[in-house]
Amino acid sequence: MELRKNLFCYLMVAPALLITLALGIVPMVTSLWWSFLDYDLIQAETAGETFVGWRNYQVVLSDQRFVTSLVNTVVMTVMVMALVVALGLLLAHVMNAKYRGRAIVRTLICAPWFVPPVVAAAIWVWMLDTDRSPINALLMDWGLIDGNLRFLTDTTDAGPLSLPLASVVAVRVWNGLPFVVIFLLAGMQSISRSLYEAASIDGASLIGRFRYITLPLLKPVLGVIVMLLLITGFGHFEINFIMTGGGPQDMTNVAAVYAYQQAFNFFRFDYASAASGVVFLMTSVICIFYIRAQIRKDK
Amino acid sequence: MDATVNPAVRQGQGIFSRYRRVDTITKLTVIAATVIALIYILLPIFWMLKSSFQTAAEIKQLPPKWIPDQIRLDSYQDINLLIPIWRYIFNSIYVSAAAALLATLIGTSAAYVLSRFRFPGMTLILVTILVTQLIPPITRVFPLYALIQDAGLLNTYTGLILSYAGFSLPFSILLLKGYFESSCPPEIEEAALVDGCSYISTFLRIILPISLPGLAAVTIFTFLNAWNDFLWASLLLNSSEMKTIQVGIGDLTAEGGGTRYVSMFMAACVLATVPALIMFIFVQRWLVSGLTSGSVK
């Protein structure tokens, strides 16, 4: 009986495990292995794949373009995370409150969810076109600016911050918001209404109720969301790639786009693997922090 | 009368009314912030829709025109001149649906035993699946590309379908595992097992039918994941008629085709969004509950 049960379990799990290993674990380990090899795709036939130790990491980390893209990766990820969580809390609150027309507001807030990232990037590129941007037109009408803002091409910068970087961040926030809102809404709905009723009888203000009931009880959900946003943010590729391809002057370049360029523009799979190895290290650090926090909580 | 009122209550009322005034201000601020957020959220979608009904000349007019003179459907007819859009959409639907079915089939059986039974190596399997979920896609793209190439699956739908199913599996399994644990009472299958049903027939005849809502949620989730993908499809497919719709649109953006044929381009964007929209409306109702029971725990 026990044997039959185990056999059944292994048979049921086997396909999923095989696919996960083949498409997840094996490529990941291979990628780490490649980051220690000499792997120039153009010369691979003749040069072979020899072990070169940390050379690829040294090459990549002393490349000014990679350092820039790493800084951008962190800056953009943190900005996206902060904005998405702040806006997400506001909108989830609005979706959770009771009033007439709530269903419509809910649908409208979730609208960007069904817009594919590529389409989102493409529309925004058009919306942020220097000459024809409706946003520029509005700002001009209101007298807030003198000349058109060059959303995606302005090259004045302040440290890692620049207008193109802010524009790409805005689009990433736009694209990532609905998922976080739904996640937070699910969390808010699991908070008992009686807590709020008790608090309002005691005379707590709206802000007080949010500060002392909603926030503390949402903490576990917020923890998961922040971790997910950091992990997906560090490896983010699509919107940066489509909107600017990393430009102008690498101002919106991120680690994933840099790795892509190394692999498919310069055919250096070794440098690409080293760059993604750095991304992997960053996400691992986040995971370890998160798991440690979880363990401490369980104790 | 006044003398009978407890002073503490009167004081309490005072506090209450003071908070009411503060609350009104808070509410107005929240409403104002929500309106601004809604403009930010809806403006691009409105812009895409209205542009798809205009002529290219009208879109490029300065200052920008907010409302089209008339609703034109020309760009939806002409779009075929720009890219074989219907072919691309069909490709996308085919690949996404196949991946979704495959991932749900494999994911369900794994999630079921992982949520119901204890067997040696189970924790290790769970951890493996979890770790895969946490790997950033870029760290596996390059070797996976080589792997697919070696397997002779480059430029085939099989390669794409297998990869999409694989990418979505970890999340599907975690979601379904949560679903089985929270929404399917184990008593039913225990009764079936006692009655002499084999494990496999219990799973097929009892568990699958009652967990259809969860299965549907996971299928649609995987479908949308595959539908939205650009990076992987653009790497694996290079024959032009096999492209998915996202690759078609991404290529147009990169080539600047978006500027010259902007009305057709916007129509393509609308068409690339509609199937996802239909799926979304379909799934919206139980998405919140699916997320609550699945991954927040």
Kindly report, residue by residue over B121-165, the tens digit of the pLDDT: 888 898 888 788 778 888 888 888 888 888 888 889 999 999 999
- A125·B30 Cβ contact <8 A: no
Q: Which of A16, A111, A132 sits opposite B45 (nearest CB)?
A: A111
Query: Residue B37 gets which letter from DSSP?
Result: H
The enclosing H or E element of B7 equals: helix B7-52
pLDDT at B3: 45
Mean pLDDT, to the nearest integer, of B4-11? 46
The enclosing H or E element of B142 equals: helix B138-150
User: How far from B170 is each of A10, B15, B93, B167, CA to CA, in Å?
Assistant: 17, 52, 22, 7
Q: Do residues B151 and B143 touch, judged by C-beta distance below 8 A?
A: no
Query: Residue B105 gets which letter from DSSP?
Result: H
pLDDT at B137: 81
Residues recorded for chain A: 299
In a domain, A19, yes or no: no
Q: Do residues A97 and B26 touch, judged by C-beta distance below 8 A?
A: no
Is residue A169's pLDDT more than 70? yes
Give the integer Cα–Cα distance in Å for A108 and B45: 10
Give the integer Cα–Cα distance in Å for B247 and B251: 6
Give the integer Cα–Cα distance in Å for B297 and A178: 20
Could you list the residue range(s) of the whole structural domain that residue A154 is in? Answer: 33-298
Give the integer Cα–Cα distance in Å for B201 and B185: 17
Best mutation target, A4, A17, A20, to test chain B (most B CBs within 10 A)? A20
CB of A273 within 8 Å of any CB in chain B? yes
CB of A145 within 8 Å of any CB in chain B? no
Q: Which of B37, B162, B292 sits opposite A90 (nearest CB)?
A: B37
Mean pLDDT, to the nearest integer, of A53-65? 92
Amino acid type, A247: G
List of residues 6+ apart from A122 with CB closer than 8 A: A242, B249, B250, B252, B253, B258, B265, B269
In a domain, A89, yes or no: yes
Secondary structure (3-state) at B109:
helix
The chain-wide mean pLDDT, for chain A, equals 87
CATH no. for residue A72?
A: 1.10.3720.10
Mean pLDDT, to the nearest integer, of A262-284? 90
List of residues 6+ apart from B268 with CB closer than 8 A: B79, B82, B83, B85, B245, B248, B249, B252
Share of chain A above pLDDT 90, in %: 32
In a domain, A12, yes or no: no
Q: Do residues A257 and A245 touch, judged by C-beta distance below 8 A?
A: yes
User: In which region does residue B67 sit, left (phi positive, over 0), alpha (psi from -120 to 50) or beta (all else)?
Assistant: beta
Angle at which helix A2-20 crosses helix B85-116, to 10 degrees, equals 150
Kindly report, residue by residue over A199-250, the tens digit of the pLDDT: 888 878 888 888 888 888 888 889 889 988 998 899 999 899 988 888 788 8
A240-257 CB burial, b ≥16 within 10 A, e <16: bbbbbebbbebbbbbbbb
Best mutation target, B9, B128, B139, to test chain A (most A CBs within 10 A)? B139
pLDDT at A258: 94
ipTM for this model:
0.87
Give the integer Cα–Cα distance in Å for A255 and A275: 7
pLDDT at A76: 96
For chain A, the domain total comes to: 1
User: In which region does residue A157 sit, left (phi positive, over 0), alpha (psi from -120 to 50) or beta (all else)?
Assistant: beta
Query: Residue B242 gets which letter from DSSP?
Result: G
Mean pLDDT, to the nearest integer, of B278-289? 67
Residue B24: CB atoms within 10 Å: 11
Enumerate the β-bridge partners of residue A268: A40
> Distance from first CA to last CA of chain A, Å, rounded?
36
Is residue B8's pLDDT more than 70? no
CB of B66 within 8 Å of any CB in chain A? yes
pLDDT at B75: 81
Cα-trace Rg, chain A = 24
Give chain B positions within 8 Å (CB) of A277.
139
Q: Do residues A36 and A51 touch, judged by C-beta distance below 8 A?
A: yes
In chain B, positions 243-272, which contact chain A (CB-CB < 8 Å)?
246, 249-250, 252-254, 258-259, 262, 265-266, 269, 272
CB of B24 within 8 Å of any CB in chain A? no
Is residue B212's pLDDT more than 60? yes
Give the residue from A280, A242, A288 showing the smallest Cα distance to B143: A280
Secondary structure (3-state) at B256:
coil
- A280·B135 Cβ contact <8 A: yes
Mean pLDDT, to the nearest integer, of B83-99? 92
Give chain A positions within 8 Å (CB) of B38.
105, 108-109
In a domain, A112, yes or no: yes
pLDDT at B9: 45
Residue A78: CB atoms within 10 Å: 14
Query: Residue B65 gets which letter from DSSP?
Result: P
Say which CATH superfamily domain B75-294 falls into. Answer: MetI-like (1.10.3720.10)
pLDDT at A233: 93
Query: What is the band of B88 on the pLDDT scale with cuts at 50, 70, 90?
Result: very high
- DSSP letters, chain A, are -HHHHHHHHHHHHHHHHHHHIIIIIHHHHHHHHHTTB--BTTTHHHH---B-TTHHHHHHHT-HHHHHHHHHHHHHHHHHHHHHHHHHHHHHHHHHS--TTHHHHHHHHHGGGGS-HHHHHHHHHHHT-TTT-HHHHHHHHTTS-SS---TTT---EETTEEHHHHHHHHHHHHHHHHHHHHHHHHHHHTS-HHHHHHHHHTT--HHHHIIIIIHHHHHHHHHHHHHHHHHHHHT--HHHHHHTTT-STTTT--HHHHHHHHHHTS-BHHHHHHHHHHHHHHHHHHHHHHHHHHHHHH-
Q: Do residues B175 and A28 touch, judged by C-beta distance below 8 A?
A: no
- A116·B227 Cβ contact <8 A: yes
What residue of A is the nearest CA neighbor of B111? A13
Angle at which helix B74-82 crosses helix B262-294, to 10 degrees, equals 90
The chain-wide mean pLDDT, for chain B, equals 81
Which sequence spans correspond to the domains of chain B?
2-52, 75-294
Q: Do residues B267 and B274 touch, judged by C-beta distance below 8 A?
A: no
- B44·A134 Cβ contact <8 A: no
The enclosing H or E element of B226 equals: helix B212-228
What residue of A is the nearest CA neighbor of B270? A119
